[in-house]
């Protein structure tokens, strides 16, 4: 009996057609499932991620935070519970089930300052949901780029040349990040950690935030910095400073204080380096399935472009952030 036949039995569903793969996910597999009982979205979790020692604990923590966001009324698409559980398993395959939401991510050219301001407001609501005191310093990032260069040399000559050309910059960024991360935040809040354009589905002006398994307690200012850049066009290597200001304005208008040390936040970001390493492993077949190699190749190329772009535009981005924060501070002083 196939997995989907067993799923049909376990949920007392009657499927009215074969599962339809959904695009957009870069780590897990998504399907739309049509049944007589309703239409659902199914997320099959990457088995290699589940092999990590902390994986199940991380998913359980994310579920607890998801429930907090539900109670607060944040527009998320939560996993459905069955017998008090969100994460389910059939024959070693772990999965989440969701009500199907008829929406799609915005295309890059569709994102406006209005959307960015709205996302800033929602991010503020997520950060206000709960907080804890930071208990320990961040661990330094220590990616061995020479290992990946050596492995790529006989595997993919094109990626080898790309990575070799970027290696000095990657080392510089990693060193800057580790220096910046020596000053950890005092407070950690609930953070989505991946609320970029692809993880918000829109139906007109209505929207839902998805991919909530990344929820954790993290540095809210780092989360703000990263998402403001994502929504302002850095992912497409074409930043729009009006959108960047709008995102910050939305966050501040919701009552959240803006950072004062933007440079440390910018330099302390390690997300792109970690994503690059994860996809280099996919290219090389390390801790992943054979079907992930092509995704890995595409993501390595795209992430290298983004890293180079962020390095080139660093000065302009920081100038914009500092200037907006000064203007916002003056406006608040005038009100007082």
pLDDT of res. 203: 97
Q: Cα–chain-centroid distance for residue 86?
A: 20
- Counting residues of the chain whose pLDDT is more than 70, the rounded percentage is 97
Mean pLDDT, rounded, for 65-85 = 95
Helix axis angle, 241-253 relative to 113-127, nearest 10°? 40
List the one residue out of 279, 258, 29, 261 whose CA is nearest residue 148.
279
Per the prediction, the chain carries an average pLDDT of 93
Q: How far apart are CA 20 and CA 41, in angstroms?
A: 9
Rounded Cα distance between 218 and 189, Å, is 6
State residue 288's pLDDT score. Answer: 87
Q: Using alpha carbons, select from 183, 194, 190 the residue that is nearest to residue 268.
A: 183
Domains and CATH numbers, the chain: 3-99 (3.30.200.20), 108-335 (3.90.1200.10)
Between CA 272 and CA 278 the distance in angstroms is 10
Q: How much is the pLDDT for 1?
A: 59
Element (H, E) at 132: strand 131-133
pLDDT at residue 330 greater than cutoff 80: no
Residue 336 in this model has a pLDDT that exceeds 60: no
| 193 contacts 218 by C-beta, under 8 angstroms | yes
Q: What is the pTM of this model?
A: 0.92
At 167-205, the pLDDT tens digits run: 999 999 999 999 988 877 889 999 999 999 999 999 999
**Bridge partners (DSSP) listed for residue 203:** 206
Q: What is the pLDDT of residues 279-307, one digit of tens each?
A: 999 999 998 888 899 999 999 999 999 99
pLDDT digits (tens, 9 = 90+) for 304-319: 999 999 999 999 999 9
């Amino acid at each position: 009996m196939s997995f989907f036949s067993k799923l049909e039995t376990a949920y007392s569903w009657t499927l009215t057609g074969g599962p339809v793969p959904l695009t957009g996910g870069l780590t897990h597999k998504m399907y739309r499932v049509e049944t007589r009982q309703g239409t659902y979205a199914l997320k099959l979790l990457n088995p290699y991620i589940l092999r990590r020692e902390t994986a199940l604990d991380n998913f359980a923590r994310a579920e607890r935070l998801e429930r907090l966001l539900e109670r607060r009324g944040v527009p998320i698409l939560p996993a459905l519970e069955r017998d008090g559980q969100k994460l389910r398993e059939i024959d070693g395959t772990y999965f989440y089930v969701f009500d199907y939401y008829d929406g799609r991510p915005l295309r890059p050219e569709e994102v406006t300052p209005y959307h960015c301001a709205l996302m800033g407001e929602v991010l503020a609501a997520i950060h206000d949901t709960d907080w804890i005191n930071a208990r320990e310093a961040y661990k330094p990032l220590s990616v061995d780029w020479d290992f990946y260069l050596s492995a790529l040399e006989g595997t993919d000559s094109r990626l080898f040349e790309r990575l070799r050309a970027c290696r000095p910059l990657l080392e510089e960024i990693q060193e800057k990040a580790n220096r910046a991360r020596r000053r950890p935040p005092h407070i950690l809040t609930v953070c989505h950690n991946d609320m970029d354009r692809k993880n918000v589905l829109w139906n007109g002006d209505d929207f839902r935030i998805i991919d909530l398994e990344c929820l954790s307690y993290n540095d809210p200012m780092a989360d703000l910095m990263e998402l403001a850049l994502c929504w302002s066009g850095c992912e497409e290597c074409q930043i729009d400073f009006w959108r960047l200001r709008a995102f910050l304005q939305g966050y501040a208008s919701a009552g959240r204080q803006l950072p004062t040390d933007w440079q440390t936040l910018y330099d302390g970001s390690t997300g792109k380096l970690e994503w690059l390493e994860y996809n280099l492993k996919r290219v090389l077949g390390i801790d992943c399935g054979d079907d992930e190699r092509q995704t890995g190749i595409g993501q390595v190329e795209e992430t290298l472009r983004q890293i180079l772009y962020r390095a080139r535009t660093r000065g302009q981005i920081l100038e914009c952030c500092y200037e907006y924060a000064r203007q916002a501070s003056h406006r608040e002083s005038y009100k007082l």
